[in-house]
Amino acid sequence: MSLTRATIPVFVPFVNRPDLLEKAIRSTWHGGVETTVIDNSDGGELADSAGIVYTPPVPLTFAQTQNYMLKQAIGEENARTSVWIKHPFYLFMHSDAEAVGDTVQRLVAMANAFTIQKRKWGVIFTAYDALAAFNTEAFRAVGGWDPMLEWYHSDIDTYYRLRLAGYELIESGLPVKHEPSQTLKADPLLKLKIDLMAPCRSEYYRRKWGGEAHHERFILPFNGAFTDKSKRKAVESMNPIEQKIAPPICACGKVMSQKDWQTLALGGGLRDQRGFACDTDGCEGNFPQRWKKIIEEANA
């Protein structure tokens, strides 16, 4: 099934800097997509603007906005057939980002191809998630975004859960201009509020995953303390391949043994959200390869 670009939504959350928002929206015009602005400004200043604008009853946090986007992509459950009527994927764009050339068309085409191929992908990045494609089923499967992480850490938490569930996080290399943190720079009070809550978010994340961001030790939130016992037992009895957490093959060529991998995964060996370090002296490689070599190694 080929998906027409007109069925694919692009969600652009907005707080301030309408001048940058205009650039962001204009850069999606030739993508054949439907762009919706989520107006989280204090005064709903986009209420009279042209185009599709959703103004929530109160401004939403970053995580709440993401969950709203996911709900819109999932759509309504058909009571008669119990089939989810949804967009198989959708695009998320920062309001201070600007797609270059035909980036939007190419991103949609890439997501469309992966979906048709039934590839298990979660996110396709450009300049990180300044503009990104999100797989609706993947985000639904991991439970959406944690509302306790209102702003920063929210993305790290969600992408970590996607990786644990076996979904690919893909770097597209597509060009996007991004002026990061312009929302906070334009609103000192909002920045102060977010900065004051940063220690709380960091501590919550540490307790949830057993370590700082990119140095997580747990494969279940809170080490399974609030997880159904049967599910926890099933996960703990799985080997890494069954858990869909691939033992990495480092760029230097070293393959983790299952024992080493368990030590690495449970001991906090994450270097960043893209991959792992093999801990070989002098090794700087940290990008895992994919399943074929892992299976070959497991069967050797």
Q: State yes or no: pLDDT of 192 exceeds 80.
A: yes
Residue 63 is predicted with a pLDDT of 95
* 275-276 and 270-272 beta bridge pairing: antiparallel
Q: 45 vs 141, which has greater pLDDT?
A: 141
Is domain 5-196 in CATH 3.90.550.10, yes or no? yes
Range in 110-114, 156-160, 228-232 the model is least confident about? 228-232
Residue 202 has pLDDT above 50, yes or no: yes
More confident residue, 145 or 32: 145
Partnered with residue 98 across adjacent β-strands are: 177
Determine the length of the chain.
300
Q: Is the pLDDT of residue 296 over 70?
A: no
Which region holds residue 2: left if phi is over 0, alpha if psi is between -120 and 50, else beta?
A: beta
- Residues sharing a CB contact under 8 Å with residue 238, sequence separation 6 or more, in sequence order: none
Higher pLDDT, 152 or 2: 152
Tens digit of each residue's pLDDT (9 = 90 or more) over 206-264: 999 998 888 888 888 988 887 766 666 655 555 444 444 444 444 455 544 545 544 44
128, β-bridge pairs: 126
160-180 CB burial, b ≥16 within 10 A, e <16:
bbbbbbbbbbbebebebbbee
pLDDT (0 to 100) of residue 218? 86
Output 256 or 184, whichever has higher pLDDT. 184
Question: pTM value?
Answer: 0.75
Concatenating the DSSP letter of every residue in 61-88 gives: -HHHHHHHHHHHHH-PBPTTT--B---S
Dihedral Cα 139, 57, 25, 17, nearest 10 deg: -120
* Cα–Cα distance for residue pair 160/169, rounded to 1 Å: 10
* Percent of the residues in the chain that have a pLDDT greater than 90, as a whole number: 43
Q: Which of 90-99, 177-186, 213-222, 255-264 has the highest mean pLDDT?
A: 90-99
Residue identified by tokens 């037992």 is 233
The answer to whether 130 and 186 are in contact (CB under 8 A) is no
Asked if residues 149 and 157 have their Cβ atoms less than 8 Å apart, the reply is yes
Higher-confidence residue: 144 or 252?
144
Residue 183 scores a pLDDT above 90: no
Which pLDDT belongs to residue 281?
52
Distance CA 278, CA 250 (A): 6
Question: Which residues 6+ apart lie within 8 Å of 104 measured at CB?
Answer: 10, 27, 28, 30, 31, 33, 91, 131
Q: How confident is the model at residue 181 (pLDDT cuts 50, 70, 90)?
A: confident
> CATH 3.90.550.10 spans which residues of the chain?
5-196
Per-residue pLDDT at 295: 36
